[in-house]
Amino acid sequence: MKDQTMQIDIGVCTYRRASLDEALLSLAMLAVPENVKLRIIVADNDQTRSAEGRVEALRPTIPHPIAYVHCPASNISIARNACLENATGDYLAFIDDDEDASENWLVELLHTAEKTRADAVLGPVRSVYAQTAPAWMREGDFHSTLPVWVDGEIRTGYTCNVLLRLSSGHVEGRRFNLALGKTGGEDTEFFSYLHREGGKIAFAPEAHVYETVPENRADLSWLAKRRFRFGQTHGRLLQENSKVLSRVKAIGIAAAKAAYCLGVAALCILVPVPRYRYALRGTMHIGVVSGLLGVREIRQYGTVEGAA
How does pLDDT run across 10-65, given as a tens digit for each residue?
999 999 999 999 999 999 999 998 899 999 999 999 999 999 999 999 999 999 99
Residue 223 host element (H or E):
helix 220-239
The answer to whether residues 183 and 36 belong to one domain is yes
The answer to whether residues 125 and 258 belong to one domain is no
Q: C-alpha angle 80/193/296, rounded to 5°?
A: 75
The reported pLDDT for the residue numbered 1 is 44
The number of folded domains in the chain is: 2
Decide if 1 is inside a domain. Answer: no
Show Cβ contacts of residue 3 under 8 Å, excluding neighbours closer than 6 positions.
Answer: 35
Residue 119, CB-side half-sphere exposure with 13 Å CA sphere: 23
pLDDT digits (tens, 9 = 90+) for 97-123: 999 999 999 999 999 999 999 999 999
Distance from C-alpha of 12 to C-alpha of 154, rounded to nearest angstrom: 24
The answer to whether residues 14 and 119 belong to one domain is yes
The answer to whether residues 245 and 268 belong to one domain is yes
Q: Can you say how many angstroms the Cα of residue 47 is from the centroid of all Cα atoms in its chain? A: 22
| Three-state DSSP class for residue 181 | coil
Closest CA to 122 of 210, 10, 204: 204
pTM of the complete model: 0.92
CA distance to 47, 61, 117, 175, 306, per residue, from 55 (Å): 16, 10, 33, 25, 21
Q: Let me know: does 209 contact 99? Beta carbons within 8 Å.
A: yes
The answer to whether residues 28 and 121 belong to one domain is yes
